[in-house]
Structure 1
Amino acid sequence: MPPSPPPPVPQLTVWYNTKCPVCNAGIDWQTNRLVQAARAGVIVFRDINLEPEALARFGADVEAVRRRLHGLDANGRLLMGADCAIAIWHHTPGDAWLAALLGNRVIRPLTRLAYDRFADVLYAWNRRKGHW
Protein backbone atom coordinates (compact mmCIF):
# COMPACT_ATOMS: atom_id res chain seq x y z
CA MET A 1 0.00 0.00 0.00
CA PRO A 2 1.50 3.38 -0.98
CA PRO A 3 1.98 5.92 1.81
CA SER A 4 -0.78 8.44 2.21
CA PRO A 5 0.02 11.94 0.95
CA PRO A 6 1.08 14.48 3.54
CA PRO A 7 -1.63 16.78 4.84
CA PRO A 8 -1.98 20.02 2.90
CA VAL A 9 0.06 22.98 4.08
CA PRO A 10 -2.41 25.53 5.45
CA GLN A 11 -2.58 28.76 3.49
CA LEU A 12 -3.17 30.48 6.82
CA THR A 13 -2.50 29.38 10.39
CA VAL A 14 -3.96 31.71 13.02
CA TRP A 15 -3.07 31.79 16.72
CA TYR A 16 -5.53 33.37 19.12
CA ASN A 17 -6.38 33.47 22.83
CA THR A 18 -9.14 30.96 23.62
CA LYS A 19 -9.36 32.33 27.17
CA CYS A 20 -10.73 35.63 25.85
CA PRO A 21 -14.49 35.14 25.51
CA VAL A 22 -14.75 37.73 22.73
CA CYS A 23 -11.82 36.26 20.76
CA ASN A 24 -13.04 32.71 21.26
CA ALA A 25 -16.58 33.56 20.14
CA GLY A 26 -15.26 35.45 17.11
CA ILE A 27 -13.03 32.58 16.01
CA ASP A 28 -15.83 30.04 16.62
CA TRP A 29 -18.15 32.13 14.45
CA GLN A 30 -15.47 32.49 11.78
CA THR A 31 -14.64 28.76 11.88
CA ASN A 32 -18.29 27.91 11.31
CA ARG A 33 -18.23 30.12 8.23
CA LEU A 34 -14.99 28.47 7.11
CA VAL A 35 -15.97 24.85 7.69
CA GLN A 36 -15.07 23.76 4.17
CA ALA A 37 -11.72 25.60 4.22
CA ALA A 38 -10.94 24.29 7.72
CA ARG A 39 -11.76 20.71 6.75
CA ALA A 40 -9.55 21.04 3.68
CA GLY A 41 -6.73 22.37 5.84
CA VAL A 42 -6.65 25.72 4.03
CA ILE A 43 -6.98 27.65 7.28
CA VAL A 44 -6.15 26.44 10.79
CA PHE A 45 -6.96 28.14 14.10
CA ARG A 46 -4.71 27.36 17.07
CA ASP A 47 -4.77 28.24 20.76
CA ILE A 48 -1.64 30.16 21.77
CA ASN A 49 -2.19 29.02 25.37
CA LEU A 50 -1.49 25.43 24.27
CA GLU A 51 1.52 26.44 22.16
CA PRO A 52 3.16 29.37 23.98
CA GLU A 53 6.42 29.05 22.02
CA ALA A 54 4.78 28.68 18.59
CA LEU A 55 5.80 32.14 17.39
CA ALA A 56 8.95 32.63 19.47
CA ARG A 57 11.14 32.68 16.35
CA PHE A 58 9.32 35.89 15.39
CA GLY A 59 9.71 37.39 18.85
CA ALA A 60 5.99 36.96 19.55
CA ASP A 61 5.05 35.54 22.93
CA VAL A 62 1.70 34.62 24.49
CA GLU A 63 1.07 38.22 25.56
CA ALA A 64 1.55 39.47 22.00
CA VAL A 65 -1.09 37.03 20.75
CA ARG A 66 -3.38 37.91 23.64
CA ARG A 67 -3.17 41.50 22.39
CA ARG A 68 -3.60 40.82 18.67
CA LEU A 69 -4.27 37.92 16.32
CA HIS A 70 -1.12 36.45 14.81
CA GLY A 71 -0.92 34.22 11.78
CA LEU A 72 1.44 32.63 9.32
CA ASP A 73 0.68 32.52 5.63
CA ALA A 74 1.70 29.59 3.41
CA ASN A 75 5.10 31.23 2.83
CA GLY A 76 5.78 31.47 6.56
CA ARG A 77 5.26 35.24 6.63
CA LEU A 78 4.00 36.58 9.97
CA LEU A 79 0.73 38.52 9.90
CA MET A 80 -0.38 40.47 12.97
CA GLY A 81 -3.51 42.28 14.00
CA ALA A 82 -5.52 43.78 11.16
CA ASP A 83 -3.31 42.11 8.55
CA CYS A 84 -4.21 38.72 10.04
CA ALA A 85 -7.92 39.62 10.14
CA ILE A 86 -7.76 40.71 6.49
CA ALA A 87 -6.15 37.38 5.56
CA ILE A 88 -8.96 35.53 7.39
CA TRP A 89 -11.60 37.53 5.50
CA HIS A 90 -9.79 36.79 2.26
CA HIS A 91 -10.33 33.06 2.90
CA THR A 92 -13.92 33.43 4.15
CA PRO A 93 -16.65 32.88 1.56
CA GLY A 94 -18.56 36.11 1.15
CA ASP A 95 -15.94 38.24 2.91
CA ALA A 96 -13.41 38.75 0.11
CA TRP A 97 -15.00 42.16 -0.53
CA LEU A 98 -14.29 43.12 3.10
CA ALA A 99 -10.66 42.03 2.74
CA ALA A 100 -10.39 44.04 -0.50
CA LEU A 101 -12.02 47.14 1.00
CA LEU A 102 -10.24 47.24 4.38
CA GLY A 103 -7.01 45.81 3.02
CA ASN A 104 -6.42 48.18 0.11
CA ARG A 105 -3.30 50.31 0.40
CA VAL A 106 -5.22 53.52 1.04
CA ILE A 107 -7.55 52.20 3.78
CA ARG A 108 -5.24 49.62 5.39
CA PRO A 109 -3.49 52.15 7.69
CA LEU A 110 -6.90 53.20 9.08
CA THR A 111 -7.93 49.55 9.39
CA ARG A 112 -4.76 48.87 11.39
CA LEU A 113 -5.37 51.89 13.63
CA ALA A 114 -8.99 50.90 14.35
CA TYR A 115 -8.02 47.26 14.96
CA ASP A 116 -5.18 48.24 17.31
CA ARG A 117 -7.40 50.56 19.38
CA PHE A 118 -10.09 47.89 19.68
CA ALA A 119 -7.44 45.26 20.54
CA ASP A 120 -6.00 47.52 23.26
CA VAL A 121 -9.43 47.98 24.86
CA LEU A 122 -10.20 44.25 24.64
CA TYR A 123 -6.80 43.33 26.10
CA ALA A 124 -7.30 45.69 29.05
CA TRP A 125 -10.80 44.30 29.63
CA ASN A 126 -9.48 40.72 29.60
CA ARG A 127 -6.78 41.62 32.12
CA ARG A 128 -9.33 43.25 34.43
CA LYS A 129 -11.63 40.22 34.17
CA GLY A 130 -8.77 37.73 34.64
CA HIS A 131 -9.25 35.93 31.32
CA TRP A 132 -5.81 34.34 31.30
Structure 2
Amino acid sequence: AERLREAHAGLKIVAARDGYFGPDEYADVAEEICAASPRITFVGITSPKKEEVIEFFRRAGLKGAFVGVGGSFDVVSGRIPRAPLWMQRARLEWLFRMMQEPGRLLRRYAVGNMRFMRLLWREARAPRREENW
Protein backbone atom coordinates (compact mmCIF):
# COMPACT_ATOMS: atom_id res chain seq x y z
CA ALA A 1 0.00 0.00 0.00
CA GLU A 2 2.83 2.40 0.84
CA ARG A 3 4.49 1.95 -2.57
CA LEU A 4 1.21 2.73 -4.29
CA ARG A 5 0.73 5.86 -2.17
CA GLU A 6 4.27 7.00 -2.98
CA ALA A 7 3.84 6.38 -6.70
CA HIS A 8 0.38 7.96 -6.97
CA ALA A 9 -0.03 11.19 -5.06
CA GLY A 10 -3.60 11.68 -3.92
CA LEU A 11 -4.46 7.99 -4.00
CA LYS A 12 -6.70 7.18 -1.06
CA ILE A 13 -6.23 3.65 0.25
CA VAL A 14 -8.79 3.05 2.98
CA ALA A 15 -7.67 -0.47 3.93
CA ALA A 16 -5.24 -3.22 2.97
CA ARG A 17 -4.70 -6.79 4.07
CA ASP A 18 -3.05 -9.96 2.84
CA GLY A 19 -4.97 -12.49 0.77
CA TYR A 20 -4.17 -15.44 2.99
CA PHE A 21 -7.57 -16.37 4.36
CA GLY A 22 -9.88 -19.32 3.92
CA PRO A 23 -13.64 -19.65 3.38
CA ASP A 24 -14.21 -19.68 7.14
CA GLU A 25 -12.84 -16.10 7.25
CA TYR A 26 -14.76 -14.65 4.25
CA ALA A 27 -17.44 -13.12 6.50
CA ASP A 28 -14.82 -11.41 8.70
CA VAL A 29 -13.05 -9.99 5.65
CA ALA A 30 -16.41 -8.83 4.26
CA GLU A 31 -17.04 -6.96 7.53
CA GLU A 32 -13.61 -5.28 7.27
CA ILE A 33 -14.38 -4.17 3.73
CA CYS A 34 -17.84 -2.94 4.69
CA ALA A 35 -16.35 -0.91 7.57
CA ALA A 36 -13.83 0.74 5.23
CA SER A 37 -16.55 1.62 2.64
CA PRO A 38 -14.29 1.56 -0.43
CA ARG A 39 -15.61 2.56 -3.84
CA ILE A 40 -13.28 0.04 -5.49
CA THR A 41 -11.94 -3.15 -3.93
CA PHE A 42 -8.93 -4.73 -5.63
CA VAL A 43 -8.72 -8.46 -4.97
CA GLY A 44 -5.12 -9.59 -5.43
CA ILE A 45 -5.36 -13.35 -5.06
CA THR A 46 -5.09 -16.17 -7.56
CA SER A 47 -7.89 -17.69 -9.63
CA PRO A 48 -10.29 -19.33 -9.05
CA LYS A 49 -10.25 -18.26 -5.38
CA LYS A 50 -10.41 -14.61 -6.43
CA GLU A 51 -13.71 -15.13 -8.27
CA GLU A 52 -15.12 -17.18 -5.37
CA VAL A 53 -14.24 -14.43 -2.88
CA ILE A 54 -15.71 -11.66 -5.05
CA GLU A 55 -18.91 -13.67 -5.48
CA PHE A 56 -19.13 -14.13 -1.69
CA PHE A 57 -18.67 -10.39 -1.12
CA ARG A 58 -21.35 -9.55 -3.69
CA ARG A 59 -23.83 -11.99 -2.12
CA ALA A 60 -22.99 -10.53 1.29
CA GLY A 61 -24.28 -7.21 -0.04
CA LEU A 62 -21.01 -5.31 -0.29
CA LYS A 63 -21.22 -2.26 -2.52
CA GLY A 64 -18.78 -0.74 -4.99
CA ALA A 65 -16.70 -2.26 -7.74
CA PHE A 66 -14.58 -5.37 -7.30
CA VAL A 67 -11.55 -5.80 -9.54
CA GLY A 68 -9.60 -9.06 -9.59
CA VAL A 69 -5.94 -8.22 -10.13
CA GLY A 70 -4.30 -11.57 -9.39
CA GLY A 71 -0.64 -11.19 -8.45
CA SER A 72 -0.34 -7.57 -9.60
CA PHE A 73 0.35 -6.33 -6.07
CA ASP A 74 3.37 -8.62 -5.87
CA VAL A 75 4.76 -6.93 -8.99
CA VAL A 76 3.87 -3.38 -7.90
CA SER A 77 5.41 -3.96 -4.46
CA GLY A 78 8.64 -5.21 -6.03
CA ARG A 79 8.34 -8.69 -4.49
CA ILE A 80 8.20 -10.20 -7.99
CA PRO A 81 10.25 -8.50 -10.72
CA ARG A 82 8.72 -7.26 -13.95
CA ALA A 83 9.94 -8.55 -17.26
CA PRO A 84 12.73 -6.65 -19.03
CA LEU A 85 11.45 -3.69 -21.03
CA TRP A 86 12.00 -5.42 -24.38
CA MET A 87 9.76 -8.31 -23.23
CA GLN A 88 7.11 -5.88 -22.01
CA ARG A 89 7.14 -4.08 -25.36
CA ALA A 90 6.94 -7.39 -27.24
CA ARG A 91 4.01 -8.39 -25.01
CA LEU A 92 5.95 -11.36 -23.68
CA GLU A 93 5.63 -10.59 -20.00
CA TRP A 94 3.64 -13.81 -19.60
CA LEU A 95 6.67 -15.77 -20.87
CA PHE A 96 8.95 -14.05 -18.35
CA ARG A 97 6.52 -14.91 -15.54
CA MET A 98 6.35 -18.51 -16.71
CA MET A 99 10.16 -18.74 -16.69
CA GLN A 100 10.18 -17.32 -13.14
CA GLU A 101 7.55 -19.76 -11.82
CA PRO A 102 7.33 -22.72 -14.23
CA GLY A 103 5.93 -25.14 -11.66
CA ARG A 104 2.98 -22.89 -10.95
CA LEU A 105 2.31 -21.29 -14.32
CA LEU A 106 3.23 -23.85 -16.98
CA ARG A 107 0.16 -25.98 -16.38
CA ARG A 108 -2.11 -22.93 -16.12
CA TYR A 109 -0.85 -21.46 -19.37
CA ALA A 110 -0.63 -24.73 -21.30
CA VAL A 111 -3.94 -26.25 -20.21
CA GLY A 112 -5.93 -23.05 -19.77
CA ASN A 113 -4.80 -21.45 -23.01
CA MET A 114 -5.35 -24.64 -25.01
CA ARG A 115 -8.88 -24.90 -23.63
CA PHE A 116 -9.48 -21.26 -24.55
CA MET A 117 -8.09 -21.76 -28.07
CA ARG A 118 -10.34 -24.81 -28.56
CA LEU A 119 -13.39 -22.76 -27.54
CA LEU A 120 -12.35 -19.96 -29.89
CA TRP A 121 -11.90 -22.42 -32.75
CA ARG A 122 -15.31 -23.97 -32.09
CA GLU A 123 -16.96 -20.55 -31.96
CA ALA A 124 -15.25 -19.41 -35.18
CA ARG A 125 -16.50 -22.51 -37.02
CA ALA A 126 -20.05 -22.40 -35.63
CA PRO A 127 -22.81 -21.46 -38.07
CA ARG A 128 -23.87 -17.86 -37.73
CA ARG A 129 -27.40 -16.92 -36.78
CA GLU A 130 -28.94 -13.66 -37.82
CA GLU A 131 -29.87 -11.75 -34.71
CA ASN A 132 -32.69 -9.24 -34.77
CA TRP A 133 -32.29 -6.66 -32.07
| Fold match by TM threshold 0.5 | no
- TM-score normalised by L of structure 1: 0.28
Structure whose residues are more often helix by fraction? 2
Of structures 1 and 2, the larger Rg is shown by 2
> What is the TM-score normalised by the length of structure 2?
0.28
More strand by share: 1
